[in-house]
Structure 1
């Protein structure tokens, strides 16, 4: 085992212990010399381990006293998911307008995008022959589909190039799938809470939704299977990996079970898998589609969250619906931007995408921890943060705080967040907010997070004063 693997493996043990609360804030970690002797590693490996933990925000170095944990498990303990009986309902139409910037939009900081290599691939493509500007294959350029197929294979996920259809982003792929397998007033099962963009699509398409409660393993499969067995739902729309807004994932067992349920009840599952490659732990998880034996899973994804949203390219593996899906694409759009597809084929096939993802995920893991450290230090004690293992968003529970008022006051300061109510038709998430941590930490971001925390604390105090006044408690 190489030195790098050793220090990361060792760091993983400390992360588990720190998250479990086995170290107090004022309790020093073993010294470098003690760490070297305890785990029989070199001093270089011991130092690399601590530096890595420091970069992720788990520990801090005191020059005179050593290394100390700075992660507070009280704040980052697992959030309890609301449990309720699923009930179909109609979404508001048109959907409400929402902020699409700052902490309110799940997107990467522009400085993290691999613009140099992307430009180089674009330049190479534009120097190719003049046929570049002719019509291309409506289902997607073969070099791009082949490059995607080879890339996915390195993750243990086998999808042949001819199974893929190129789309204008992931939401476009999802919308096309919904048009194909559902009709107006059909009921579509979704996890609760659910990404606003998916709810908005269902709203404008006139579909009803059936919110299935989430849990630590993923979603309530008992309720979902009950509805599928009764054929009360026409389709399921699910994100299995690093869901937006909660950041949590379905277990491997649940993914396999869902693929089997889709086949058993002959009900399609549309899988929005746009965050899967943003995995902070180094091992990219598998999608539900991996377990699909009979083609009932329609798998959708894109580069919008991982690489460049402005390129507007995504893809779909429609399974048993491939022919009808392809026909719909041919009729509606005649395909996607050909030069961009070929440029991305060049970018992926040269290995730039795989190298970029590895670097990006290390950065995002560090940013995620930095955000959590700042928020847990600044926010009131009762606040809890769901710690994701991937993706771009944090899901925060703010008890006793009017999050709509918080959102309104922050908007006046040009600080944008999304309230939990935006992600559901129920009333279970009014004490939650979702934040994008894709923006790099700098002075302005710290100022905005500080203002968020100050506003939240002020609203909490106001509610406490009103509550005490109502009960007749004497204020000191």
Structure 2
């Protein structure tokens, strides 16, 4: 269970990382902060103490509390700019390119700067092995029979307890286990919509989601997104004026932009979903990749009417190869339970038991505690090296406060598709911006993966991209 001081500390930390509270700014006194937030003085003291322990604020004797310079805020490069647009329902293009990029992501001959995945060195293989061995040792005979399609009870209970520790609660009866996050999205989309229906998505949006929607023959209604979040006015307009009854979005450490919405914005989105009776599939796959010790709350936390479907998996914090994900089905949608179970592929039971042990033994929590500062440092190293390598080119670069996707915006006349083809010839995998939306809006952008250690091969690949870009100028 999370305490109030932890939630307040998280909100202030996000403002510091996003630059809303710049380095050197004086904060409210403890008494002022307690009065403003309507909490006790003791809660305010605990909040500031936690931020001080995280190195985000410092105290000057007889002067007060001040914001510490954030290590991953680089002053020499601007944030990407994003187009404003109005859109109508449209089909998804570039499906063949999407499939080609997906195939490239598993090609061992390429330097993987494109697909967002962790280095094998960051996978807690020893702890996982111990949990799997314990699970098999203590398993029962019924664990080797056909299992419940909704998922193993032990894993459902372990996930519910894990989330409760982070401050949000989903009943065990509403949790469904799936073979990863994307299969969960596919089942939900096919259950709640028909071929030809339109789904609201903020763009730039994760290209894998767009590929899925295109494959399922669904149209999209795009809503502008930027490095601070989603245009909520346009989101409301799309919910109000379109016939769409489904929205697919990520609120925490969005791929590719890296933003995290504020709690007020999440609460507003939950209210909009209820007002316009538009279901939201919340893909929260990166939430536990925060660069701070505190995990941000999902939109689901504010869902009072049952219009938010929560989804996630272990792919981004452990390994995509385990193929274990989950989603919640609120009571409002229980009428679709039989249909959903019919399309769900049952997940390996011993693996579910092993992951339940991994959570209950605290090994999962320990892994997250160790992973988060590594991700922050790794992302900072990538940003520093990219800025150094592109020093002679006017670029803009995202500055995520979680996850490990980087959005690099090149000069306007640079064609990222040409860069993608050139990089592939050089044995480098990147993802061009045109697959993150329609109408060529992001043709001068690329997405880069910072999930691997910045070794010599990756540094050389970044230098290669920078040299080609400079040559085009």
Question: TM above 0.5, one fold?
Answer: yes
Give the count of matched residue pairs.
416
Q: Is the 8 A contact 2:245 2:277 kept in 1?
A: no
Partner deviation per Cα, 1:395-451 (whole Å, 9 max, x = no partner)? 011014221121111111111101110101122211111000001122222222222
For the pair 1:403 / 2:416, whether they are aligned, the reply is: yes
Counterpart of 1:201 (choices 212, 233, 245) is: 212
Q: Deviations over 1:322-345 (max 9, x none)?
A: 424431343234621111100000
Residue 389 (1) aligns with residue 401 (2): yes
How far residue 12 of structure 1 moved from its aligned partner, in angstroms, is 11
1:74 correspondence with 2:62: no
CA deviations on 1:282-318 (whole Å, 9 max, x unpaired) are 2211111111001111111110111121110100012
2:183 to 165, 172, 181: 172
Aligned to 2:445: 432
Report the equivalent of 2:52. none
Match of 1:189 among 192, 200, 208: 200
Is the 8 Å Cα contact of residues 95 and 200 (structure 1) preserved in structure 2?
no
- For 2:246, the equivalent position in structure 1 comes to 235
Measure how far apart 1:81 and its partner are: 1.9
Map 1:305-316; keep pairs closer than 5 Å. 305-316=316-327
Aligned to 1:466: none
- The structural deviation recorded for 1:39 is 4.5
SS of residue paired to 1:301? strand
Tell me the equivalent position of 1:304.
315
2:347 counterpart (326, 336, 341): 336
Question: How many angstroms apart in 2 are the aligned matches of 1:341 and 1:448?
Answer: 38
How far residue 79 of structure 1 moved from its aligned partner, in angstroms, is 2.0
Distance 1:38 1:252, change over 3 A: closer
**Which of the numbers 130, 147, 163 marks the counterpart of 1:152?**
163
Question: Which of the numbers 102, 105, 123 marks the counterpart of 2:115?
Answer: 105
| Structure 2 counterpart SS, 1:172 | helix
Q: Report the 3-state secondary structure (helix = DSSP H, G, I; strand = E; otherwise coil) of the residue aligned with 1:116.
A: helix
Q: Could you say what secondary structure the match of 2:383 adopts? A: helix
Q: In structure 1, which of residues 428, 449, 452 is the aligned counterpart of residue 462 of structure 2?
A: 449
Which is worse superposed, 333-342 or 355-364? 333-342
Measure the CA separation in 2 of the matches of 1:14 and 1:262.
29
Structure 1 stretches lacking a partner, 5+ long: 23-36, 41-49, 59-70, 461-476
Give the secondary structure class of the aligned counterpart of 2:113. Answer: helix
Runs of 4 or more above 6 Å deviation: 11-17
1:123 aligns with 2:133: yes
TM superposition shift of 1:154 = 1.2
Q: Which runs of 5 or more residues in structure 2 are unaligned?
A: 1-5, 25-57, 62-67, 107-111
Larger Rg: 1
CA shift in 2, pair 1:271/1:363, >3 Å: same
Distance 1:425-1:13 versus aligned 2 partners, 3 A rule: closer
Matches within 5 A, 1:240-255: 240-255=251-266
Contact 2:187 2:343 (8 Å CA) reproduced: no
Show the counterpart of 2:124: 114
Residues 332/402 of structure 1: CA separation in 2 closer, same or farther (3 Å cut)? closer
Instruction: Identify the residue that residue 41 of structure 2 maps to in structure 1.
Output: none
For 1:110 and 1:267, locate their aligned partners in 2 and report how far apart those are by CA, in whole Å. Answer: 39
Q: 1:15 to 1:317 in 2, by over 3 A?
A: closer
Contact 1:299 1:316 in 2 (8 A): yes
Match of 2:32 in 1: none
**Residues 296 and 320 in structure 1, CA contact (< 8 A), matched pair in contact too:** no
Q: Distance in 1 between matches of 2:136 and 2:429?
A: 39
Cα displacement string for residues 206-241 of structure 1 (whole angstroms, at most 9, x for unaligned residues)? 111011001354212222212222343121111111
